[in-house]
Structure 1
């Protein structure tokens, strides 16, 4: 549905060189997730979901979770190697929320029967969990008054490829925190583009009509 657009280099990567404009940008981080105030004008095509703007891998498909009451619960990027989920939450001005969240998450995963260990990555501590259903990787990034959590979930044999894809998505993600005061850990609201929202509503209506036809 959406393409990568132009790639930017990640720190420590020699695969893609930064353009002259990117090098000349003052005080911009080398890679994301970016706060809206630091988002580069890099030409990368991103899907605008309100609180986050995400690049979508070539061939990726969107999977949307919607509560019965209406709000969007989550948006997943489904790829050939697994499913990626990037979510943003309200956080305090001080950093360190991911340290707390990751410890709680690891404890919950172990209670659910998963084997969990930590690894160090570009953004700090990552959680890696092996469950009977999938291989999971959780990456957290503390930003200014926000926390981004990226999740890669897929078959064990594609775990490395799925993790690399998650890193690439996070490196190009833009977070729009907004000025509203919110309790810490509150999920930042997801807003679907009008075209996608209309497609979902049409699909829901078609399913509703189909169910009514079966009932009759």
Structure 2
């Protein structure tokens, strides 16, 4: 799916007067250069600016050995949204290239990944057998969404109810549309993760922590 901007309304059959002062409605997620004037005080994490969500906690998954941030997580009572941003070619479609790689990696780990069309374009619906902290086997469902932007790709992974329940997913998808990406002007290899800055107030988590 390409990063895009569009009005919520289709073009009318008969031209009507348009109020020039009325702002256009823009879908997100947004590039920093298209930051909407929505009065939202986002948490600045460097390459990702995240809107606070009532009832959800902002966490950063940090690799213990390197102390590098691996992902940003919005966690709630019914699930979570994991966010990762990557460098991408200016006019490329990195999500189309990465999608089969993600599916193959999941298959190597004994899981399944099925493509389907969703709100943001082609997404992956995944299932993976995992072990609970108590040592029991369980099945973990997830939905992976990729959105191509100007020289970046945002990958969002829905976990818990948002991965399986359409009613719950709608609210979480709105959270994804409020994300802002700051790519920066520096050169980076395609596919490299965009750096995330750790604020003092953020909670650090290790991968796999609930």
What is the TM-score when the length of structure 2 is the normalising length? 0.75
Q: Structure 2 CA distance, aligned partners of 1:157 and 1:93?
A: 30
Match of 1:101 among 90, 94, 98: 98
The aligned residue for residue 40 of structure 1 is 36
Distance (whole Å) between structure 1 residues aligned to residue 152 and residue 21 of structure 2: 24
* Number of the residue aligned with 2:107: 110
Looking at structure 2, the residues matched to 149 and 136 of structure 1 have their Cα atoms a distance apart, in angstroms, of 13
Rounded to whole Å, the distance in 2 between the matches of 1:187 and 1:100 is 15
Matched, 1:179 2:201: no
**What is the CA distance between 1:156 and its match in structure 2?**
8.4
Contact 1:83 1:154 in 2 (8 A): yes
1:166 is paired with a residue whose SS is helix
Structure 1, residues 48-107: CA drift from partner, whole Å, max 9, x if none?
A: 111011123211113322223322222211111112111110000122110010111112
Secondary structure of 2:73 counterpart: strand
- Greater fraction of residues in strand: 2
Q: 1:167 to 1:107 in 2, by over 3 A?
A: same
Asked whether the 8 Å contact 2:80–2:162 carries over to 1, the reply is no
C-alpha spacing 1:187/1:22, structure 2 compared with 1 (3 Å): farther
**Alignment partners' CA distance in 2, 1:95 and 1:84:** 25
Aligned-pair Cα RMSD in Å: 2.8
What TM-score do you get using the length of structure 1 for normalisation?
A: 0.73
Once residues 22 and 135 of structure 1 are traced to their aligned partners in structure 2, the CA distance between those partners, rounded to angstroms, is: 45
Shift in CA distance, 162/103, structure 1 to aligned 2, threshold 3 Å? farther
CA distance in 2: counterparts of 1:187 and 1:131, whole angstroms:
24
Partner SS, residue 117 of structure 2: strand
Shift of 1:187: 0.3
Matches within 5 A, 1:22-61: 23-25=22-24, 30-61=26-57
How far the C-alpha of 1:123 sits from its partner, in A, is 2.2
* Aligned-partner SS, 1:131: strand
User: SS of 1:134's equivalent?
Assistant: strand
- Structure 1 or 2: larger helix share? 1
Runs of 4+ in 1 over 4 A off after TM superposition: 20-23, 155-158
Determine if contact 2:161/2:169 at 8 Å carries over to the other structure. Answer: no
Contact 2:43 2:50 in 1 (8 A): yes
Question: Following the alignment from structure 1 to structure 2, what is the Cα–Cα distance between the partners of residues 54 and 157?
Answer: 20
CA distance in 2, matches of 1:85, 1:73: 10
